[in-house]
A and B are shown apart, each in its own frame.
Chain A
Amino acid sequence: GEDVEQSLFLSVREGDSSVINCTYTDSSSTYLYWYKQEPGAGLQLLTYIFSNMDMKQDQRLTVLLNKKDKHLSLRIADTQTGDSAIYFCAEIRASSASKIIFGSGTRLSIRP
């Protein structure tokens, strides 16, 4: 199947870390992505990881990839109100060079 699954909602306190999880089904995934969508805006690429990596860090963002379990996570350190958005997990597979397959998105809300 083409399933990329995420939980729909996450609420965290400002200053805490947010961890958004994603599972995918196809072991041929070559690239895995995290996109951010703010209200009324397009899809902004936050970060990506090659399938032969298991971790990538970029400032406040840490991506962890567990290929065995087909599990991808995005950790946002020191979560701020500006991080409120929908976060999409996505993948590209070896069978297609152009088609990004998206998860349903996780809505991250920040409470004071």
Chain B
Amino acid sequence: EPEVTQTPSHQVTQMGQEVILRCVPISNHLYFYWYRQILGQKVEFLVSFYNNEISEKSEIFDDQFSVERPDGSNFTLKIRSTKLEDSAMYFCASSLTSGGDTQYFGPGTRLTVL
């Protein structure tokens, strides 16, 4: 069964450094998402992406964050200058259509900012 994959599984970085989290969505999916879960808190929506554009973003997704689909398979989340409070599990998801269509989640990348 097709699945969403994410790399790395765990990323440790120093405060102020840039990180890029990578995702490979399911191959025929057209909509892509990032969510995050700070330890002990809810899973929160960050951004959705369709047709090479951001279609929706949350208040969390400020200028420090960016997303890109650099080729036909990868979907990345970049954090330009990490802060301690960016430490979280970051989940990528994809869906074939939007409007409630099932979003399939990857296993997550645990980001630790020191």
Contact = CB atoms under 8 A, between A and B. Distances in A.
B51 interface: no
Interface stretch (A13-21, A58-66, A69-77, A96-104): A96-104
Given A98-B31, A98-B55, A99-B48, A45 B99 contact: no
Given A99-B48, A99-B56, A99-B58, A43 B43 contact: yes
Contact of B33 (A35, A44, A98, A101): A98
Interface string A32-65: 0001000011111100100000000000000000
Interface string B23-54: 00000000101010000011111001000000
Interface of A: 30-31, 35, 40-45, 48, 88, 90, 92, 96-105
